[in-house]
Amino acid sequence: MTKPILIVGGGPAGLAAAHSLGTVGRSSILVEKEDKLGGAPILSGYAKLVPSGEWAKDAIGGMVDRVEGDSNIKVLTGTTVTKFDGTPGNFTAEFSNGDNAQVEAAVLCSGFTHFDSINKPEWGFGTFPDVVTTTQVEQMISSGQGVRCPSDGRKPQRVAILLCVGSRDRQIGREWCSKICCTVSSNLAMEIREELPECHVYIYYMDIRTFGLYETKYYWRSQEEFKVKYIKARIAEVTSDGEKLIVKGEDTLVKRPITIPFDMVVHAIGMDPNVDNPQLADIFGVDLEEHGHIAAENRYGAMGHTSRPGVFVAGAATGPETIDDSIAQGHAAAMSVLSELHQPVDKSA
């Protein structure tokens, strides 16, 4: 009997990899450190996803149900891998619950960690209750509560969304673009305008990166149909006059300093490397790339290889990725596992 494949992380990438293997009759063990599956979209309570417009709990929830109903997949929640040794086709994994298992290969789908806005104190998060993150706004929408100022529950009249919070910022050692936050922010801006038509939404940007087809659906649509305003400025600081939040910066298009009052300021937080990556790198013996993500090898030959044969990677574990791409990479990594297992000798030789 063939041994199962180990999958670490039950987000979109891990769910896709497990499902792919299941469809060809290969068994897998899906290890998830939190107590439920679904990854960031479920654990952080995202609202409607980009670009499908489906609610996260339906779209990703559907992937979770499919995996939980698949007898080929053994799900271990609340569990991590503590030790991983062996060679391709013959690995032994030990788990935090004391069990162990023989596995043929491993796929790391361990995702990312949300940037913690506390690390940009000048933008007021943690000091002023009405400075929130995109994740919090997602939760306000997905919970049905609606977008409200946390300080007193009022409907905001004017909202500022600050892009690139925790991304593209050498000051805090984060040079990468988190890829999805421009699009997510335009989407949230439209959601806010839809729920609160009287509320004006301003997006402060350095560049707008609603790449590919997202341009029409998010950047253009948010302006043309929802009258969201985009201002080219990187905000210097967010303070308060006791009543309103005061956003200070330079409007670069008119070369003028600005100090504008707002009811709510939203940080479009970026995607950090998973805080567990150093441990994961240690346990699985894989290299990290320069920013701290799990390094994916040359992608032209096959998807999802790491520096160690038999250990694969997919999704946001490799760097900022969208859900769609994470899912595609999960499926692709499953394919790479299958093809490698049929020629394990060349690889380990």
Partner 1 sequence: MPIHEKSLIRPENLKTHEELVIDGVDVSGHWSTFIESRVVSDYNEAMEDEIAALPGGENIHRCWQCGSCTNSCTVNAINPDFNPRYWIYLIRMGMEDELLRDKDIIWQCVSCNKCTYACPRDVFPEGVMKATAHWLERKGHTPKSPSMHFDEVFTEQVIKTGKIEESRTIRRFFSRTKQGLMQPWMIEMVKRLLRNLPVGLLTRMGLATFVAPKTRGWSSAAAAMQEYIDEQHEKQEQALSS
Show the tokens assigned to 163: 């892009």
Contacting residue, 257, 282, 339, 348, with partner 1 by CB under 8 A: 257
Shortest spacing between CB 220 and ligand FAD, in angstroms? 18
- For residue 118, count other CB atoms closer than 10 A to its CB: 9
Query: In this chain, which stretch among 79-87, 258-266, 292-300, 341-349 interacts with partner 1, using CB under 8 A?
Result: 258-266
Which residue is associated with the tokens 């417009």?
53
Measure CA of the first residue to CA of the last residue in the chain; give whole Å: 24
Q: Is residue 105 part of the contact set for ligand FAD (CB under 6 A)? A: no
Q: Are residues 208 and 182 in contact, defined by beta-carbon separation less than 8 angstroms?
A: yes
The token pair that represents 284 in the structure block: 């699985």
Helix ranges (DSSP H) in the chain: 12-23, 39-43, 56-68, 134-142, 181-195, 214, 221-224, 277-284, 323-341, 344-348
Q: How far is the CB of 131 from ligand SF4 (least distance, A)?
A: 17
DSSP letters for 112-146: EEE--GGG-GGG-TTTSTTEEEHHHHHHHHHTTS-
Query: How does DSSP assign 145-161, residue by residue?
Result: S-S--TTT-PPPSEEEE
Does residue 227 touch partner 1 according to CB under 8 A? yes
Q: Give the Cβ contact number of residue 95 at 10 Å.
A: 17
Instruction: Show the site string, 242-281: x = touches ligand SF4 by CB under 6 A, - = not.
Output: --------------------------x-x-----------
Question: Which helix (H) or strand (E) is 108 found in, with range?
Answer: strand 106-108
Residue 163 sits in the site that holds ligand SF4 (CB under 6 A): yes
Q: With binding defined as CB under 6 A, does residue 40 bind ligand FAD? A: yes
The verdict on 203 binding ligand SF4 (CB under 6 A) reads no
| Smallest gap from residue 254 Cβ to ligand FAD (A) | 31
The footprint of ligand FAD on this chain (CB under 6 A) covers a number of residues equal to 42
Cα 202 from chain centroid (whole Å): 24
Residue 342: CA count within 13 A, CB half-sphere = 5
155 binds partner 1 (CB under 8 A): no
Can you read off the two tokens belonging to residue 200? 């004006």
Which of ligand FAD, partner 1, ligand SF4, none does 111 bind, CB closer than 5 to 8 A by kind?
Answer: ligand FAD
In the list 253, 343, 346, 349, the residue contacting partner 1 (rule: CB under 8 A) is 253
Angle, to 10 degrees, between the axis of helix 12-23 and the axis of helix 56-68?
40
Q: Is residue 109 a contact residue for ligand FAD (CB under 6 A)?
A: yes
Of residues 12, 156, 249, 310, which one binds ligand FAD by CB under 6 A?
Answer: 12
Site string for partner 1, 168-207 (x = CB under 8 A): --------------------------------x-x-----
> Contacting partner 1 (CB under 8 A), which of 254, 278, 282, 289?
254
Distance CA 185, CA 219 (A): 10
| Residues contributing to the site for partner 1 (CB under 8 A) | 200, 202, 220, 223-224, 227, 229-232, 251, 253-254, 256-261
| Residues contributing to the site for ligand FAD (CB under 6 A) | 8-14, 31-34, 39-41, 43, 46, 49-50, 80, 109-112, 114, 134-135, 138, 180, 184, 269, 271, 274, 276, 280, 315-317, 321-324, 326
